[in-house]
């Protein structure tokens, strides 16, 4: 085993914060002091452009001259459910959720400060509402205009709304 292979660690922890605009964030490892740098490219290689603060994460990391850095994301688990923001945003039970189809969509716009945005499902004229709490419960922190995603959708009081958002690459892996 080479010195480089010995230096690789599999770390379990939680996302301290991640800012897609800055292109990085930090993970707090369960069994190690200090923060672990998580670069946007490492997250993109996993198939996501963002990750929610508080999400559980497993990464492969190594020591660099600037500290410990993640170089591969192994898994991400969304953060624990928070109190839902409104009646429409109560998550269905996991079995019901799994039975909803994943619909391919493209993000029309999403404003993290406002806490919501919209997507267009391919071959459908109406917009799909995406609330930031649904995004967070899906393990994501933000969406970019034009980003490809897969949505599980329900009929809400004011139209179609996402109840789960899955990065396109992750949805493609789930089908394989």
By C-alpha distance, which of 11, 12, 14, 110 is closest to 53? 14
pLDDT in tens, 92-116: 666 777 788 999 999 999 998 888 9
Give CA–CA dist 117/131, Å, rounded. Answer: 7
99 φ, ψ (degrees, to nearest 5): -80, -15
Question: Per the confidence metrics, is the pTM higher than 0.85?
Answer: no
**pLDDT, tens digit, 9 for 90 and up, residues 18-32:** 988 889 999 999 988
CATH class for the region spanning 87-175: mainly beta
What does the domain layout of the chain look like in residue ranges?
3-77, 87-175
Residues 11 and 84: their CA atoms lie apart, in Å, by 30
pLDDT means per 10 residues, the chain with 176 residues, are: 63 91 92 92 89 91 92 88 49 72 94 91 91 88 91 88 86 56
Task: Give the CATH number of domain 3-77.
Answer: 2.40.50.140
């Amino acid at each position: 085993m080479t010195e480089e292979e010995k230096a690789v660690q599999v770390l379990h922890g939680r996302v301290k914060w991640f800012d897609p605009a800055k292109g990085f964030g930090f993970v707090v490892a369960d069994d190690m002091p200090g923060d672990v740098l998580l670069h946007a490219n490492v997250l993109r290689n996993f198939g996501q452009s963002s990750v929610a603060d508080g999400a559980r994460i497993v990464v492969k990391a190594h020591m660099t001259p600037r500290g410990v850095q993640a170089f591969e994301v192994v898994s991400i688990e969304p953060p624990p459910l928070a109190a839902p923001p409104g009646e429409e945003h109560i998550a269905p039970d996991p079995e019901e959720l799994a039975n909803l189809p994943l619909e391919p969509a493209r993000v029309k716009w999403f404003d993290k400060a406002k806490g919501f945005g919209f997507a267009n499902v391919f071959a459908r004229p109406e917009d799909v509402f995406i609330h930031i709490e649904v995004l967070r419960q899906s393990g994501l922190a933000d969406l970019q205009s034009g980003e490809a995603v897969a949505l599980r959708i329900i009929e809400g009081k004011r139209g179609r709304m996402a109840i789960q958002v899955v990065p396109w690459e992750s949805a493609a892996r789930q089908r394989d």
